[in-house]
Amino acid sequence: MTEPTNGLHFQRELNINKIMSVQIVEYNQSQVLDILEQLTAIYTSAFSLPPYNENPQVLGQFSHSLKTHLNRKGFLCLVIQCIQTGRPVGFAYGYTARPGQWWYNSVTKQLTPEQVHIWFSDCFEVVDLALLPEVHGQGLGSRLHDELIQRLPHRTAALSTISAQTTALHLYQRRDWQILDKAIQFSGIKRSYMLLGKELR
């Protein structure tokens, strides 16, 4: 389990332009709850737009899902916040992928035993990486991704993303994520997803 921090243990100031400076800060479980409403607003802004077009039901599940993930082994949440205002403008989080979890069970049953052994024996699940649309195009997604990956002690990381040529997919491919399956299906969801994996060590 990631040890709780005071929220300032890990941060790096990033000057993205003359108007706005940001820092990436690790938030512990209680601090995540303190800004849950803001994280929900970021998630909604990011995934209600094309090409995701998530419906209100899916968007409404975010805060509940995040609260259920807080105490999972290896939980890690990084938040990008504006230094001048303290306002969060993006976040990324995940935890150790283990049998019995909905996502783990959903994706591993669609893989071969060899793939499961290689990719999921010591794996960090990247659950979400989201930015406010207004800060896109400034390299924040890449920096947030890199900071998250650098802190992981796991052997691999995995995530799922919609089967489309998105900005997020291009980011992952530039950083050596491999496509493990191009058509992962989740129960109750009509669209298909790509399953990506990354070797960390």
What would the mean pLDDT of 50-69 be, rounded to a whole number? 91
What would the mean pLDDT of 138-151 be, rounded to a whole number? 96
- Cα–Cα dist 26/199, whole Å: 23
Residue 57 has pLDDT above 70, yes or no: yes
Q: pLDDT band for position 189 (50/70/90)?
A: confident
| pTM summary value | 0.88
pLDDT for 145-187, tens place per residue?
999 999 999 999 999 999 999 999 999 999 999 999 999 999 8
pLDDT for 61-90, tens place per residue?
999 999 999 999 999 999 999 999 999 999
Q: pLDDT band for position 42 (50/70/90)?
A: very high
- Cα–Cα dist 36/184, whole Å: 29
Structure tokens at 76: 């890690």
- Cα–Cα dist 62/85, whole Å: 25
- Cα–Cα dist 126/143, whole Å: 15
Backbone angles phi, psi at 100, to 5 degrees: 100, -20
**The pLDDT of residue 18:** 40
